[in-house]
Homo-oligomer: A and B are copies of this chain.
Amino acid sequence: MQTSFTVPAPGREQSIDCSRARRAYPTLERSAYFNYGAAGPLSVNALDAICRAYGFLANCGPFSIEANLWVEEEVAVTRSLLEAELDAPAGTIAFADSICAACNIVLWGIEWLAGDHIVISASENAGVAAAVQTVAERFSLKVSQVAVSRCTIEDPISQIARVLRPETRLVILSHILQPTGEAMPIAQIRQLCRSQQGSGPMLLVDGAQAAGAVPVSLQSLDPDFYAFTGSKWLCGPGGLAGLHIRSDRLELLRPSSVGWRNLLAERTGMAGLYAGARRFDIGVSAYPLYTGLRAAIELHARAADIGERTRRMLEMTRYFRRGLLTLSRQIPIRFIPDDTECGTASGIVSFAIGGCRPAELVQFLEARQILIREIDDPQCARVCIHYLTTAEEIDHLVEAIDAFLVRRRI
């Protein structure tokens, strides 16, 4: 399957000094950490930046001309950095608390007509699926849930094509599927949407498992909307996520959860909402988080560029898959999906162990300071490999899985 991002070929000799980079993350000193897809660990750099920002606000007074100028600048600089990071045009990223909140900007921003149709993949985050269900009930919309994972189907493009109708207004799909790590062919699905009658449905991409993990170029992917968070693969603080809104959709989408942060000036009302994505900003008022996210991103940039980071992540992922495969010669470990080819597009490795609930394994490992998580659908254990992950950490995980199998007499 074609992936939706390009990892540049290695250029001049460049290797990541991981042991040095890892020292900035207290979590990595204490645990073998494999839950980047849920929440990235905070670095001391990011934490110091957050504390320094609080210190600054305490110094100049949390509400003052100086503090307000600083807040304005923090938000603007962070917006620009994220736009650069995701190769998005200036003024197209709005801030939200989380991926779900970002998706809600779209879901409550479209002027729905009763009977309009939404297509959502069956591999989306449960919160996003619940948000879709909520908006569908409110505005009497139809929803089709479509399997897109190789666990059950061959080709996501034809699956989505089959359910599109003239009334389809929105298609929701992850860039990288959170349960299985499969990369979706976003560019082709965007083409499919545009080739429909009329203007075709809009495409909302959930980039939760892509942003910070693999190179993302929104100019090239060109979806209508792209939700992402700083709190997973980018290792920023929880509570700061974003939504890219394609320039031509900025005027089409209607603001929903409006407040003072969207107003050009007090008492200007709707006519006075900011231009650009800023009119859609819904969070967050904890401004030190912006400072923290920038520090997180800058730390990655100092380690290596995103191409090199992704290469290392994929190399380590292959190393883990090989390790698990060695074990699975004797015991019933099954990759999900059971397809080695498509399981190499991200750092996510999901697997099931015959005869045992994933929760048992997760608990067994956490007691040994090895952190992975379970996924409900499909039921499996999920391991996230980051560029920060070392071979030693993986060896430790593989040995612990082996010990678990022995203990459980599997």
A138 and chain B: residue at smallest CB distance: B254
Q: Which of B40, B239, B270, B376 makes the CB contact (< 8 A) with A130?
A: B270
Task: Looking at the assembled complex, report how far the CB atom of A207 sits from the nearest CB atom of chain B, in whole angstroms.
Answer: 16
A66 touches B239 (CB 8 A): no
* Cα(A130)–Cα(B231), bound, Å: 30
Q: What distance in Å separates the Cβ of A236 from its nearest Cβ neighbour in chain B? A: 10
Given the known interface contacts A131-B257, A257-B257, the answer about A267 and B61 at a Cβ–Cβ threshold of 8 Å is: no
**For the complex, is A161 an interface residue (Cβ under 8 Å from B)?**
no
Q: A267-B377, A376-B266 are in contact. Are A61 and B47 (CB under 8 A)?
A: no
A362 at the B interface (CB under 8 A):
yes
Q: B residues within 8 A CB of A98?
A: 259-261, 285
A102 shortest CB reach to chain B, Å: 10
From A108, A127, A259, residue with most partner B Cβ within 10 Å = A259
Q: Does chain B have a CB within 8 A of A319?
A: no
256-291 of chain A: CB within 8 A of chain B: 256-263, 265-270, 273, 282-287, 289
A27, B259: Cβ atoms under 8 Å? no
How big is the A interface, by class? 35 or more
Cα of A108 to Cα of B259 in the assembled complex, Å: 13
Q: Mark A86-105, 1 if CB is under 8 A from B, else 0.
A: 00000000000111110010
Chain B residues near A373: list those with CB within 8 A.
63
**How far is it, in angstroms, between the C-alpha of A334 and the C-alpha of B184 when the chains are bound?**
65
**Residue pair A258, B127 in contact (C-beta under 8 Å):** yes
Q: Would you call A259 and B104 a contact (CB within 8 A)? A: yes
Check if A259 sits within 8 Å of B101, measured CB to CB.
Answer: yes
A35 at the interface (CB under 8 A from B): yes
Inter-subunit contact A134/B371 (CB<8 Å): no
Contacts A30-B59, A258-B130, A261-B127 given; does A47 touch B42 at CB 8 Å: no
- Residue from B40, B42, B97, B362 within 8 A of A97 (CB atoms): B97
Chain B residues within 8 Å of A144, by CB: none
B100–A258 CB distance below 8 A: yes
Q: Which of A29-80 contact B (CB under 8 A)?
A: 30-31, 33, 35, 38-42, 47, 50-51, 54-55, 57-67
State A360–B259 Cα separation when bound (angstroms): 27
Q: List 22 A-B contacts (CB under 8 A).
A: A25-B58, A30-B58, A30-B61, A31-B61, A35-B61, A35-B63, A35-B64, A38-B63, A47-B55, A61-B371, A63-B371, A64-B366, A98-B260, A101-B282, A104-B258, A126-B266, A127-B262, A130-B258, A130-B263, A130-B273, A131-B259, A238-B287
Report the 7 A-B pairs with minimum CB-CB distance, sorted nearest first.
Answer: A100-B259, A127-B260, A239-B286, A38-B63, A127-B259, A26-B58, A39-B62
